[in-house]
Structure 1
Amino acid sequence: MGGVVGKGESPKKASIPETKLEAKMVEAMQRRASQGSSMKSFNSIILKFPKIDESFRNCKDIFEQFDEDSNGAIDQEEMKKCFHKMEISFTEEEINDLFQACDINEDMGMKFSEFIVLLSLVYLLKDDQNTLHVKSRMGMPNLEATFETLVNAFAFLDKNKDGYVSKSEMVEAINETTSGERSSGRIAMKRFEEMDWDKNGMVNFKEFLFAFTRWVGIDDNEDEEEGEGKA
């Protein structure tokens, strides 16, 4: 049952994608990782945090357009409507999978930080001409660079290009940046633990994104509003 993956074992056994959608996400990421990454160090990712934060906050308008009843969360019907409006071609099953994948608190509504993860996954999965059409409809031309940065950051960490980031890959990435600093191993472990939601020793792009919204601080300003919308 679940236990810790031993060094000699392949961690793959522990991380069977939960849904077809997640399997697609891992495949898409393998393709991206195999193209290499323009990131040179973990620090270069951290330096981009303020810019990413600003770019995310610009999504608030889009979020509010989707949130038709203005209750601070997007439910499944609102999400279907918004996909329809933007002509994003996902099947019913994919929409359900996407919603479940991003509604991390399982409270049947996507909060703003969960919505950011949704947009990033749509970007990764619809990486073709169709995406450009969608982005112009969403009125978010600057987001492309932000999503590209996130994909690049993950590709940089995924040294063996298998679509997952393992603990040893995280340690390696942070050691490259802080060579010789004794604390670097601890930093890597902490960052990794923040990412590894299901504690299976492997991080997929979705888990990485959820950790990222927290590192960048998207979650912080939501907690203050929490009290109001709760029934």
Structure 2
Amino acid sequence: MGGVFGKGNSVKHNVAGSKLEAKMVEAMQQRALGGSTMKSFNNIILKFPKIDENLRKCKTTFEQFDEDSNGSIDREELKHCFHKLEIYLTEEEIKDLFEACDISENMGMKFNEFIVLLCLVYLLQKPAALHAKSHMGLPDLESTFETLVDAFVFLDKNKDGYVSKNEMVQAINETATGERSSGRIAMQRFEEMDWDKNGTVSFKEFLFAFTRWVGIDDVDDEDD
């Protein structure tokens, strides 16, 4: 999908994004208290195929709620989706999530944006809900979301809710000790994630980068 790493300039969009990001940081810091099961960046890479498989299964869910079959989900369709999945959010929360994840600002979420939004919803649910067997009714997808949260917790060494360049280097070095190319790989991965170029990576940025790494951006092209 083109324009995945574009930035919105409207004040309204930025305010909504800031509020949502603050909630994400708080939720991630709470989640980080439980630690990560990941031991190295290689652990994350080895999970790519399974993550890819489970995320692509979500395409059916996306198409189900794309009621007018135009290839994107608008805000009303998203409300119907949340109702069906028994996700209860306020109008303001839905608006903020939609504006934050509709990064192409075309008033409709493409498949990769929809996945990112659902993962953010998963993170932002109350901690008790995170440990429920399935609170969205999508157990495979929720398991994948937990893996993505776990991966971010592993990268976020100081548990401040963001991943810095130094933390990325540390994560790669833990995997590739003694390899001179490890620093270059870390920088490449970090640049792919830090699309607003502010020197830190939020969970939302991480998710969009991850969908690219596993090829989710290519799903629409494959279906054409």
Q: Tell me if both proteins adopt one fold, taking TM over 0.5 as the criterion.
A: yes
Identity of matched residues, %: 74
Aligned residue pairs total 208
Question: Relative to 1, partners in 2 of residues 1:28 and 1:129: Cα closer, same or farther, differing over 3 Å?
Answer: closer
Whether contact under 8 Å (1:26, 1:164) holds in the other structure is yes
Letter in 2 for 1:119: L
The residue number in structure 1 matching 2:136 is 135
Alignment partner, residue 12 of structure 1: none
1:157–1:205 distance in 2 versus 1, CA, 3 Å = same
* Contact 1:155 1:161 (8 Å CA) reproduced: yes
The structure whose Rg is larger is 1
CA deviation vs aligned residue, 1:22-75 (integer Å, no higher than 9, x gap): 111110001112221000000010000000000001101110111000111001
Choose the corresponding residue for 2:201, options 200, 203, 211.
203
What is the distance in 2 between the residues matched to 1:92 and 1:151? 25
Matched residue, 2:96: 97
1:137-156 deviation per Cα after TM superposition (whole angstroms, max 9, x unaligned): xxx21122211110000000
C-alpha separation in 1, matches of 2:104 and 2:167: 28
Paired residue type of 1:62: T
Deviation at 1:99, TM superposition (A): 0.4
Alignment of 1:37-48 (within 5 A): 37-48=36-47
Which of the residues 193, 208, 220 maps onto 2:191? 193
Distance 2:222 2:54 in 1: 21
> Structure 1: how far apart are the matches of 2:35 and 2:135?
26
Q: Which residue of 2 aligns with 1:5?
A: none
The offset of 1:224, in angstroms, is 5.2
Specify every segment of 5 or more residues in structure 2 that has no aligned partner in the other structure, as ranges.
1-14
Q: In the TM superposition, what are the counterparts of 1:110-129 in structure 2 within 5 Å? A: 110-128=109-127
Q: d(CA) in 1 for partners of 2:206 and 2:46?
A: 17
Mapping of residues 28-107 of structure 1, within 5 Å? 28-107=27-106
* Displaced runs of 4 or more, over 3 A: 127-134
